Amino acid sequence: MANNTLLSVNNLQTYFELKRWGFLHAGYVRAVDGVSFDLQKGEAITIVGESGSGKTTLLRTILGLAKPTGGEMVFAGRKLDFKNSRDISWLRCQIGFVQQDPYGALPPFMNVSRILREPLIVNKVRREEQGQRIREALEEVRLIPVEDFLPKFPHMLSGGQQQRLVIARALILHPMLIAADEPVSMLDASVRVEILELMKKIQKAHNLSVIYVTHDLSSVRYFSQHAFVMYAAKIVEKADVNEIVNNPLHPYTQVLLNAIPDPEPENVAKFRDIPPGEPPSLINPPPGCRFHPRCPHVIEDLCDVQEPPPFEPEPGHLVECWLYDPQGASAKSRSELKAPADRASEASDNVS
Amino acid sequence: MSVKTKPLTGKGRSRARHEGPLLKVEELSLFFRATHGVVRAVENVSFELARGRSLTILGESGCGKTSLAKAILRLLPRNVSTYTGRVFLNGTDIMRLSEDRFRHDVRWKQMSLVSQAAMNSLNPVLKVGYQVAEPLFLDHRTSKKEAMERAREVFRIVGIPLPFLDRYAFELSGGMRQRAIIAMALITNPSLVILDEPTSALDVLTQAGIMNALKKIKQELELSFILITHDIATSSELADEVLCMYAGQLVEHSKAERFYREPLHPYAQKLMASVPTLRVEKKPEFITGQPPSLFNPPKGCRFAERCHRRFERCQEEPPLFAHGDEMVKCWLYEKG
């Protein structure tokens, strides 16, 4: 592994057990199912997906807030053992979390000074140092003059200021990675770019790595280098952000991008192509490619039978879709593919 | 599939077709009492909307978009301190009607509302079809059977499979629930539907589906929409005209072709520049500063403090200037 890798995730799985009557096993919700990627130091990536695609669970697993059921994670050269609480608390100090809803993420009964002091107290930072750290963090997110903000309560701040405070709290322990779960979706359009620019500036200044989780690709495309597209608990496409936007390869990415409007008056007369159906249930995902029931380019007897491995049709652009099989999908005869019969039989009640 | 909606049977449906604009709002103001003073949520808003057109009300949170919708529908909370102006719907001044008359003849009969996050407020213990049909048979003008028949029709229009009539809200996905709410607003065959952030809680693909359905409804049923949203990219999906609000006031009322290409008001220009685009390479910008408090708004132009084209004149409040077909509240357009 290259020395520059900060986080390496290998075949990560997070399943939530379903129980019937509180104790009987009734299957799993496969929220994250076999996700692998590497994150370099100082790199910003975006995870794009619809709600229910597992992007937030992936982030929570990386943060140590959800326990993975399989796979491994290496953070800054340290292989993490999720059963070891010391590993987890160490991990949480290294990652700053920026929540989606700033007002919900800030305790209403604490003032700014107390909100920022809390992580320092928990992590036993010396009392003399605390004031200095708080001041630095507030200056960094440009909540200045600092004295004016210290005694304020969250409800006295505007949405943008609240989100800055959340960012300050994420930064105060000097983390190596910032994980942001839809950091701007609750903010107004005019403030969004300001917050994203602030995050980018902080990222550059400290050589931080950032993971953005979002469903809105257009707002983060200027602020991250790579994008992963998630669909039904899997990453289906990995590439440079601009590659994804300008040259999407996976059929799901194509329909997703097609559904995002740009502000143009012609939109009134245009109907958008959207695939039929809804994302599959994660309790019982369809066999083969998970997008095949909705895919316009589905290849019979291949897509619905065998899960596609990642192909690399262009350098640095990985896509899990049989259309990009260099051997040619049609070249493989049907007999070569053995249907995993156990999963195919379960697939019937997916249509919700 | 062509769906013809026949006028409903029953009394009170003989709506005289009025020539002229469907909705005309004149100097509408709505202020609220709060502990620290009066919040001037909507101030002096005037506009017209023609039949079959759709209007988008754009603005940041707290600029009075939703209050304006509530004021038009007379769905007011108790702490209203001032509620003045005139609202003409089909030529009748609906602000002068008594509350009973208004409820009986106007609200939901002639205009209906899809309120924000309404999809989460469906009754969990009633079947969706029953809830959608409810506005029709509540006042006993229509029989239950006819109402259910009509519910079937609107379900078809909004694109929900008919078996869903007999399902409960929890059995429906978010997109389907939102469609059911839209069906509920359409069932009385109103001439104006106000949509308050109809897609903000939905996924991109679901959102596109709902927008497709709304476009189809607009083509087929010849009704007018008022779409209230802060999502500028989505707003362009359903806009013939755009009304941009800032700090409780109307700042620009333009045709969509104009507004999305080259808006007039400096605030609208800045707002459009802050929208990230997917297909056009353009780095988004942001507006520095914050909107003024509505307790004590500044004397002159309310955007002056953040404006990049401010000059001396901005200390006075600009009136609405006509600039071609557009209306804009900015001194820069004084000469027309």
Q: And the tokens for B102?
A: 């208004």
In 3-state terms, chain B is what percent helix, strand and coil (to 5)? 35, 25, 40
Query: Are B59 and B138 in the same domain?
Result: no
Among A213, A137, A175, smallest CA distance to A6 is for: A175
Q: Does some domain include residue B6?
A: no
pLDDT at position A263 over 60: yes
Amino acid at A90: W
Residues of B in contact with A189 (CB under 8 A): 60, 230-232, 271, 274-275
- Which of the four pLDDT bands, split at 50, 70 and 90, describes residue A341? very low
- Give CA–CA dist B182/B206, Å, rounded: 14
- Which of the four pLDDT bands, split at 50, 70 and 90, describes residue A347? very low
- Which of the four pLDDT bands, split at 50, 70 and 90, describes residue A348? very low
CATH code for the domain in which residue B278 is found: 3.40.50.300
Nearest to B236 among A50, A217, A261 (CB): A261
Among B264, B278, B276, smallest CA distance to B318 is for: B264
Query: Are B233 and B138 in the same domain?
Result: no
In this prediction, residues A328-344 reach a mean pLDDT of 43
Strand order in the sheet with A234-240: A95-98, A177-181, A209-214, A44-48, A226-231, A234-240, A317-319, A311-314
pLDDT at position A239 over 60: yes
Domain stops at, among B139, B163, B189: B189
Q: Does some domain include residue B205?
A: yes
Per-residue DSSP letter, B297 = -
- Residue A250 contacts residue A49 (beta carbons within 8 Å): no
A231 beta partners: A234
- Give CA–CA dist A296/A299, Å, rounded: 9
Give residue A200's pLDDT. Answer: 92
User: Rounded to 5 degrees, what angle do the CA atoms B72, B73, B74 make?
Assistant: 95
Give residue A336's pLDDT. Answer: 43
User: Rounded to 5 degrees, what angle do the CA atoms B110, B220, B14 make?
Assistant: 35
Query: Are B194 and B136 in the same domain?
Result: no
Q: Does some domain include residue B152?
A: yes
Q: In what helix (H) or strand (E) does residue A327 lie, and over which residues does it extend?
A: none
- A215–chain B Cβ distance below 8 A for any pair: yes
Q: Does some domain include residue B250?
A: yes
- A222–chain B Cβ distance below 8 A for any pair: yes
Amino acid at B34: A
Give residue B17's pLDDT. Answer: 61
Contact A265 B215 (CB under 8 A): no
Residues of B in contact with A255 (CB under 8 A): 205
Q: In what helix (H) or strand (E) does residue B37 lie, and over which residues does it extend?
A: strand B37-49
Cα–Cα distance list, B312 to A185, B4, B208, B264, B304 (Å): 37, 57, 45, 19, 10
- Choose the mutation target among B53, B203, B308 for the interface with A, i.e. most A CBs under 10 Å: B203
Contact A193 B285 (CB under 8 A): yes
Give residue A186's pLDDT. Answer: 82
For chain A, which residues make up each domain, given as ranges?
A: 5-111+172-246, 263-350
Query: Are B169 and B265 in the same domain?
Result: no
- A51–chain B Cβ distance below 8 A for any pair: yes
Task: Report the Cα–Cα distance between both ends of chain A, in Å, rounded.
Answer: 43
Inter-chain contacts counted by CB atoms under 8 A, chains A and B: 118
Please, is A42 exposed, middle or buried when counting C-beta atoms within 10 Å of its C-beta (0-12, 13-18, 19+)?
A: middle
- Give CA–CA dist A47/B206, Å, rounded: 19
Among B59, B165, B74, B156, smallest CA distance to B111 is for: B74
Query: Are B103 and B30 in the same domain?
Result: yes
Contact B278 A219 (CB under 8 A): no
Q: Does some domain include residue B260?
A: yes
Contact A256 B204 (CB under 8 A): yes
Query: Are B232 and B301 in the same domain?
Result: yes
- Choose the mutation target among B164, B286, B293, B294 for the interface with A, i.e. most A CBs under 10 Å: B286
Which spans in chain A are helix H?
55-62, 85-94, 102-105, 112-122, 127-140, 146-149, 159-171, 189-206, 217-220, 241-246, 251-259, 341-344
Query: Are B77 and B161 in the same domain?
Result: no
Unique residue bearing structure tokens 């709290």: A169
Topology at the third CATH level for domain A5-111+172-246:
Rossmann fold (3.40.50)
Domain stops at, among B189, B208, B236: B189
Give residue A334's pLDDT. Answer: 39
- Residue B6 contacts residue B146 (beta carbons within 8 Å): no
Residues of A in contact with B260 (CB under 8 A): 263-265
Give residue A300's pLDDT. Answer: 86
Residues of B in contact with A278 (CB under 8 A): 173, 175
Contact A262 B233 (CB under 8 A): yes
Count of domains for chain B: 2
> What is the overall mean pLDDT for chain A?
86
Domain stops at, among B189, B205, B223: B189
- Residue A169 contacts residue A112 (beta carbons within 8 Å): no
Cα dihedral B322, B323, B326, B327, rounded to 10, equals -40
Query: Are B195 and B325 in the same domain?
Result: yes
Cα dihedral B77, B13, B57, B85, rounded to 10, equals -60
Give residue B336's pLDDT. Answer: 61
Give residue B14's pLDDT. Answer: 42
Q: Does some domain include residue B7?
A: no
- Give CA–CA dist B297/B277, Å, rounded: 32
The 3-state DSSP class for residue A142 equals: coil
Other CB atoms within 10 Å distance of the CB of residue B32: 20
Residues of A in contact with B240 (CB under 8 A): 268
Contact A271 B207 (CB under 8 A): no
CB under 8 Å to B26, separation ≥6 — which residues? B46, B85, B86, B87, B88
Residues of A in contact with B286 (CB under 8 A): 190-194, 197
Give residue A207's pLDDT. Answer: 92
- Give CA–CA dist B102/B109, Å, rounded: 9
The 3-state DSSP class for residue B32 equals: strand
Q: And the tokens for A260?
A: 């995002």
Contact A259 B207 (CB under 8 A): yes
Provide the shortest C-alpha distance from residue A223 to chain B (in Å).
10
- Residue B139 contacts residue B104 (beta carbons within 8 Å): yes
Give residue A250's pLDDT. Answer: 93
- Choose the mutation target among B205, B217, B251 for the interface with A, i.e. most A CBs under 10 Å: B205
Find the residue in B nearest to A160 (Cα). B290
For residue B140, give its domain range. Answer: 118-189
Give residue B7's pLDDT. Answer: 45
Residues of B in contact with A219 (CB under 8 A): 276, 284
- Residue B157 contacts residue B183 (beta carbons within 8 Å): yes
Does the bond joining B263 to the residue before it have cis omega, within 30 degrees of 0?
no
Nearest to A190 among B60, B234, B260 (CB): B60
- Give CA–CA dist A95/A64, Å, rounded: 10
CB under 8 Å to B314, separation ≥6 — which residues? B300, B301, B304, B307, B331
Per-residue DSSP letter, A284 = S
Q: Does some domain include residue B295?
A: yes
Residues of B in contact with A143 (CB under 8 A): none
Query: Are B227 and B303 in the same domain?
Result: yes
Contact B277 A263 (CB under 8 A): yes
Contact A159 B208 (CB under 8 A): no
CB under 8 Å to A94, separation ≥6 — which residues? A75, A76, A175, A176, A177
Strands A44-48 and A209-214: parallel
- Give CA–CA dist A256/A272, Å, rounded: 11
Per-block mean pLDDT, blocks of 10 residues, chain B (336 long): 43 55 93 90 92 91 89 91 92 90 89 86 92 87 90 91 91 89 91 90 86 90 90 90 93 93 93 87 85 88 91 91 91 84
Query: Are B133 and B277 in the same domain?
Result: no
Q: Does some domain include residue B46?
A: yes
Per-residue DSSP letter, B262 = S
Q: Which residues in A289-306 are b (16+ Cβ under 10 Å) and which e?
A: bbbbbbbeebbeebbbbb
- Give CA–CA dist B130/B117, Å, rounded: 20
How confident is the model over A178-230, as pLDDT tens digits? Answer: 999 988 888 888 888 889 999 999 999 999 999 999 888 888 888 888 999 99
Query: Are B201 and B52 in the same domain?
Result: yes
- Give CA–CA dist B208/A260, Å, rounded: 8
Q: Which residues in B260-291 are b (16+ Cβ under 10 Å) and which e?
A: beebbbbbbbbbbbbbbbbeeeeebebbeebb
Query: Are B166 and B52 in the same domain?
Result: no
Handedness of CA A322, A326, A332, A336 (dihedral sign): negative
Cα dihedral B54, B57, B58, B59, rounded to 10, equals 180
Cα dihedral A142, B267, B305, B43, rounded to 10, equals -120
Provide the shortest C-alpha distance from residue A225 to chain B (in Å).
15
Provide the shortest C-alpha distance from residue B238 to chain A (in Å).
5
- A274–chain B Cβ distance below 8 A for any pair: yes
- A272–chain B Cβ distance below 8 A for any pair: yes
- Residue B72 contacts residue B78 (beta carbons within 8 Å): no
Q: In what helix (H) or strand (E) does residue A54 lie, and over which residues does it extend?
A: none
- Give CA–CA dist A96/A48, Å, rounded: 20
